[in-house]
A and B are shown apart, each in its own frame.
Chain A
Amino acid sequence: MPSAVELRDITKRFPGVVANDGVRFEAAEGEVHALLGENGAGKSTLSNILTGLYRPDEGEIVLWGEPVSFASPRDALDAGIGMVHQHFRLVPPFTVAENVILGDHRGEGKKFMVHPRRIERNVAELGKRYRIAVDPRARIWQLSLGEQQRVEILKALYRQARILILDEPTAVLTPQEAESLFETLRVMADEGRTVIFISHKLHEVKAVADRVTVLRDGRTIDTVDTGSATPRSLAALMVGREVSLAERVERDGEIGAPVLEVRGLWAHGDRGGDALRGVDLQVRTGEIVAIAGVAGNGQRELAETITGMRAAADGQVVVDGRPLRGGDAREAIRAGIAHVPEDRLHTGVAPSLSIASNVVLKSYRGKQVTRGPLLRLRAIRDHAASLIRRYDVRGGGPELPARQLSGGNLQKVVLAREFHGDPRVLVVASPTRGLDVAAIETVHRYLRDAASSGVGVLLISEDLDEILALADRVAVIYEGAIVGEVDAGATTVEEIGLLMAGGAG
């Protein structure tokens, strides 16, 4: 089959990171080609380059044998590249048909007068051809997320996209909806279009794609036929055993009695539905328990429910044998639960406030920093200065707004605050995401130290290297439930990877 799109040695640098480092990629006409990689492997950057949002620093884009250069996303659209983003770009009060012609500057959308009937008819025909059932007159806000995704696909088809990129399309779909999406993708490929399917779910890739290109750390690792690959071999390619940043280190300290127990925990997600479906967990003093899983399987909700930011629908969180009422972060803090949240810039700190203010974000009611209703600003500043020294926070003094710190130093501020409260339990979510190697090492050292001093650590991470380097036990979460638990010393990346992908091999 002739090649539809080819990326030659694409390099894209951002301040401090090389997001794509000489990436090679090639997809043929009429194929579904999966782009597989962990978070931060460079998938999104690559698709942004292909859709004209970024320009590569080096390298070449070749479409149907012709080198092209995109000055804007519109150029890419005109060249026949359509994209379905993870977060939809639709206008909620408009109808399906109106959204489809929005931004179309060649066909119906270009005319001054809009003929709704004609557009609706065209959209309905398109839908029939590709088995995408959507009412063209429905308004976007009335549609489910799965239906909205179909509108995005229709939009691309209406603009005669010959190459369609889908960014983690199944993240918002039920298994049934995912099935019908795969069917649509096959119809499109059979017509000679090219579908680029970005994912990190192994079984989906196996189910829908003809070939897979695996990215890791911004580089192309390999392109393989899905027919000859197994989830096992794909997991190995994706995670890459040989580049283990973090080494497993034995810790001092003994593992003691259970300090955190989670019993049959259920919780709703932000979009309704059950994000947690009966989670049972136990963390003992001095122990690091990791929660592994593909993003969006309930990890965030689990951290939020344990730390009181989200109310449980059912079940209990027990600290030191005492059950919490739940849904109250202040109660959880008092019970000794420290929390290093996933979104450190907007949840972990108040970004415009000073480091000093952020250091006392949870302890501003305490005796050390208050006199009656008044805050002792000098005491707060001194406290911040001493933590800055102790945790080696670089970039500025106590008065510096937190947002001006680099990711690693910001994380040190959060850790300093959370450790200082003498926690019993530490819940950390993706603690090293976006950090450089040196900062990762520091954060890992702090987590080990915390465990050695008798804190029970619950580490939620999508980084298996990190999990294997730090954890004593690994529990794997899938669709809101723990589907397996393994001893970190006696497991393999493959074993965990298979559990993460839903258990089946």
Chain B
Amino acid sequence: MIRFERRLRQPGWLSVAVPVGSVIVAFGLMTLVLLATGHSPGHTFSRLLDTGFGSKVAINETFVSATPLLFTGLCAAVAFRMQLFNIGGEGQLYAGAILGAAAGIALGNHSGWLSVPAMIVAGAVGGAALALVPAILRAFLSTNEIITSLMLNYVAALVINYLIFDSQSYWRDTSSPTAKVFPQGKNLPEAANWPLAHVGGLYLPFGLLLGVVLAAVIWVLYTRTRFGFEVQVIGDSPRAATYAGMRTRRKILAVMALSGAVAGIGGASQDGDFRHTLDPRGLTAAGYGYAGIVIAALGRYNPFAVCLIAFLLGGLQNAGFALQGVDFPSGLVGVMQGLILFCALGGELLVRYRVRLGSRGAQRAEATA
């Protein structure tokens, strides 16, 4: 009989050994899958690494894929740290993209550099506003925020589709020739294009830099300030927080707003950095918000770890696009990405629990004692 027991202490070496082991197991499983489908594992793996991380071009592409994941990963990490399970990063990203695009369009080319900060603020406001709905319900009515924030993702997806496909909204392009054939968003004005840093052959999107700065700010906020101290206490023991006279409700509102704002800036970055229009199809197909939850979990809610993991997963995603072709179906790419995630998350279990084989009687008595 196999049983899982919670580890009382987590030895330090495990946090290195388990991820490494997980990756090895994942590649082992992938080898089996590739052999079974008649592909060469060695060739596939080297292409996977090359197209994800192997050249400057590949890394530039990986930066593009990693940027939104960084924001949604931080969004989840910020809330999960206080045991506040904001699953709504997806919808909050859409809300940020909607308001970010509106700000960019509204300012046109008249305000010069002001467009970029205005889009950031608008995106943050959009994401925060959407996140405040589950926050208020949770703080005042004890509603489960997992469900409310998840449901709002569908609402946000319907809204963003409605704006472009089912209405003559402010965001929709109605004049250009292509727009007559297929509904699309207005192109953002020149001033709304976010700058691109060029360092030694690498192109760093402005959103990526902003995300890394945000990660550092969040780290300081959570480990060095009174606000972060309260978040830690509330996350660990709400009763202890009440006992110490902390205002738990306000903290719920603030943390959810912060979490939503981060995702919202990610949405604005999609407008400004990459898509240069409000793009419902592209955004809803990508599923950045849900990937962010996985990233936050893998990074154990540490903002810097989230940066690293967003980069790695971005590379994996990006390599996936490059791998698929005539002889390599996209489903197989999905299987490979799934295996890596499955092993990484499964490995997490081993850090927190130990596996025991054997009978239960005597040990159970110990466990209950």
> Complex: how many Å from CA A333 to CA B241?
13
Q: Chain B nearest CB: distance from A300 CB in Å?
A: 12
Contact at B369–A329, with CB atoms within 8 Å?
A: no
Residues in A with CB closer than 8 Å to B233 are: 350, 353, 357, 361
B3 located at the interface, meaning its Cβ lies under 8 Å from any Cβ of chain A in the complex: no
Within 8 A of A (CB), among B235-294: 236-237, 239-247
Residues in A with CB closer than 8 Å to B241 are: 350
The stretch of A165-173, A183-191, A368-376 in contact with B is A368-376
Closest B residue to A333 by beta carbon equals: B245
A377 located at the interface, meaning its Cβ lies under 8 Å from any Cβ of chain B in the complex: yes
Q: Is the interface of A mostly helix, strand, loop or mixed?
A: loop
B365 located at the interface, meaning its Cβ lies under 8 Å from any Cβ of chain A in the complex: yes
A347 located at the interface, meaning its Cβ lies under 8 Å from any Cβ of chain B in the complex: yes
Q: Chain B nearest CB: distance from A12 CB in Å?
A: 9
Chain A: interface residue count, which band?
A: 35 or more
Contact at A373–B227, with CB atoms within 8 Å?
A: yes
Q: Mark A14-52, 1 if CB is under 8 A from B, else 0.
A: 110000000000000000000000000000000010000
B232 located at the interface, meaning its Cβ lies under 8 Å from any Cβ of chain A in the complex: yes
B362 located at the interface, meaning its Cβ lies under 8 Å from any Cβ of chain A in the complex: yes
The stretch of A98-106, A269-277, A338-346, A452-460 in contact with B is A338-346
Residues in A with CB closer than 8 Å to B242 are: 309, 329
Q: Which of B226, B243, B368 contacts A365 (CB 8 A)?
A: B226
A158 located at the interface, meaning its Cβ lies under 8 Å from any Cβ of chain B in the complex: no
Q: With A346-B240, A349-B240 in contact, do A330 and B245 touch (Cβ < 8 Å)? A: yes
Contact at B365–A55, with CB atoms within 8 Å?
A: yes
> Complex: how many Å from CA A330 to CA B361?
47
> Complex: how many Å from CA A14 to CA B367?
11
> Complex: how many Å from CA A53 to CA B360?
12
Q: Is the interface of B mostly helix, strand, loop or mixed?
A: helix
Contact at A347–B245, with CB atoms within 8 Å?
A: no
Contact at B243–A329, with CB atoms within 8 Å?
A: yes
Contact at B236–A370, with CB atoms within 8 Å?
A: no
Contact at A347–B226, with CB atoms within 8 Å?
A: no
Q: Chain A nearest CB: distance from B228 CB in Å?
A: 8
> Complex: how many Å from CA A347 to CA B230?
14
> Complex: how many Å from CA A331 to CA B245?
8
Q: With A55-B361, A55-B362, A373-B225 in contact, do A350 and B240 touch (Cβ < 8 Å)? A: yes
Closest A residue to B228 by beta carbon equals: A375
Q: Chain B nearest CB: distance from A32 CB in Å?
A: 28
Residues in B with CB closer than 8 Å to A350 are: 232-233, 236-237, 240-241
Residues in B with CB closer than 8 Å to A55 are: 361-362, 365
- Chain A CB within 10 Å, residue with most, of B224, B232, B237: B237
Q: Chain A nearest CB: distance from B68 CB in Å?
A: 30
Residues in A with CB closer than 8 Å to B361 are: 55, 71-72
Q: Mark A357-392, 1 if CB is under 8 A from B, else 0.
A: 100011011000010011101000000000000000
Residues in B with CB closer than 8 Å to A71 are: 361
Residues in A with CB closer than 8 Å to B230 are: 364
- Chain A CB within 10 Å, residue with most, of B245, B361, B362, B368: B245
A328 located at the interface, meaning its Cβ lies under 8 Å from any Cβ of chain B in the complex: yes
Q: Chain A nearest CB: distance from B96 CB in Å?
A: 26
Within 8 A of A (CB), among B327-369: 361-362, 364-365, 368-369
> Complex: how many Å from CA A331 to CA B242?
12
What are 18 inter-chain pairs, A to B, with CB distance below 8 A?
A14-B369, A15-B369, A53-B365, A72-B364, A309-B242, A330-B247, A333-B244, A333-B245, A346-B237, A347-B240, A349-B237, A349-B240, A350-B232, A350-B237, A351-B237, A353-B236, A373-B227, A374-B225
B binding-site residues for A, Cβ under 8 Å = 224-227, 229-230, 232-233, 236-237, 239-247, 361-362, 364-365, 368-369
Known A-B contacts: A54-B368, A352-B236, A357-B233. Give 17 more (CB < 8 A): A53-B365, A55-B362, A329-B245, A330-B245, A330-B247, A347-B239, A349-B237, A350-B233, A350-B236, A350-B237, A351-B240, A352-B237, A357-B232, A361-B240, A361-B244, A364-B226, A373-B226
Closest 10 CB pairs of A and B: A330-B245, A329-B245, A350-B236, A350-B240, A361-B244, A350-B237, A350-B233, A347-B239, A352-B236, A373-B225
